[in-house]
Amino acid sequence: MLNERSALVCPGAHDALSAKMIENYGFKALQVSGFGLSASYLGLPDMAFLSFADVLHFSKNVIDAVKIPVIVDADTGFGNAISAMYVTEQFIGAGAAGMNIEDQAFPKRCGHMEGKQLVSKEEMALKVMACKDVRDRLDPDFIINARTDAIAVEGFESAIDRANAYAEAGADLIFLEAPRSEEQIREAVARIKAPVSINIFDAVAGGKTPVMSIEKLRELGVARVSIPVGPLFAAVKGLMDYLEAIRDDRVAVGRNDLVCAFSEFRKLVGYDDFRQLEKKYLPSFIENNM
């Protein structure tokens, strides 16, 4: 799908439930959002508060919940190239289809936040090469999506230079973080010697990349479009609206617009499937139905 360079849309999942919803709405792949994991599990910003063990555990929950490919968030590889090799091995073992790995220095932060610092181009290229060696040994289809945050720190030309170094080192996909214009995206696709991934925030979320249609990104030749925080921000807005409606000891009578039906939720989590298993395998259910 990535090799088609037709803007494969990967919404961001922040937990297993959001992943199941993404799959149910027909998306062909999804992205585990590190931003979303930090917010939903810790209530903290995306500033490297999650450990690798946390990310692996939460990502495995997402992977197990769906059948579509899942790209996970490896941040900076949680250390040097040797650490990144272990991270790659563990994510492959967890069943991930690929991972993002970025050239920020630890502690990293969301690409649309200020205060980022980068490791050298050489250090990141060697880290990508190390991950590639693990990938080639364990799962040749595993996608290494090398992200560069250089636009905000060193400028656009440096980002292109770094991107090509990472592609040469073995990255399958280049994640160009926070391009500032359509022209930068167009030029990046033309000059980077690998498929290009773009990250867009929802139109109202305040990200640095201009929001444009998927059709326009497809026309530009972008391979993948991740929308990492849109589902999370939508969930937060839904909670805000519901809690506002029941504040001050009120009950949201008749406000069906604020909640999904219980029957819809049961279907989402597979309740009826488990009921059938109970009837087949649990003695009490079998005896009651004889």
Handedness of CA 154, 100, 125, 105 (dihedral sign): positive
pLDDT at 64: 98
285 versus 145: which is more confidently predicted?
145
Give the whole-angstrom CA distance, residue 61 versus residue 31. 13
pLDDT-derived band of residue 204, with 50, 70 and 90 as boundaries? low
Overall pTM surpassing 0.85 (yes/no): yes
Domain boundaries, the chain: 8-236, 260-290
DSSP 236: H
**Among candidate residues 220, 160, 224, 168, the one with its CA nearest the CA of residue 191:** 160
pLDDT-derived band of residue 119, with 50, 70 and 90 as boundaries? very high
pLDDT at 177: 94
pLDDT at 78: 96
Is a pLDDT exceeding 60 seen at residue 72?
yes
pLDDT at 193: 97
pLDDT-derived band of residue 211, with 50, 70 and 90 as boundaries? confident
**Among candidate residues 227, 102, 119, 110, the one with its CA nearest the CA of residue 175:** 102
pLDDT-derived band of residue 229, with 50, 70 and 90 as boundaries? very high
Q: Which whole number is the average pLDDT over 216-231?
A: 96
pLDDT-derived band of residue 284, with 50, 70 and 90 as boundaries? confident
Q: Which whole number is the average pLDDT over 109-137?
A: 89
Is a pLDDT exceeding 90 seen at residue 112?
no
pLDDT at 160: 98
pLDDT in tens, 123-134: 999 999 999 999
Among 208-217, 256-265, 280-289, the range with the most confident prediction by mean pLDDT is 256-265
Sort strands 143-148 and 30-32 into parallel, antiparallel or unpaired.
unpaired
Is a pLDDT exceeding 90 seen at residue 173?
yes
pLDDT in tens, 16-41: 999 999 999 999 999 999 999 999 99
pLDDT at 113: 62
Peptide bond into 228 cis (omega under 30): no
Is a pLDDT exceeding 80 seen at residue 154?
yes
CATH homologous superfamily for the domain 8-236: Phosphoenolpyruvate-binding domains (3.20.20.60)
The answer to whether the beta carbons of residues 51 and 79 sit under 8 Å apart is no
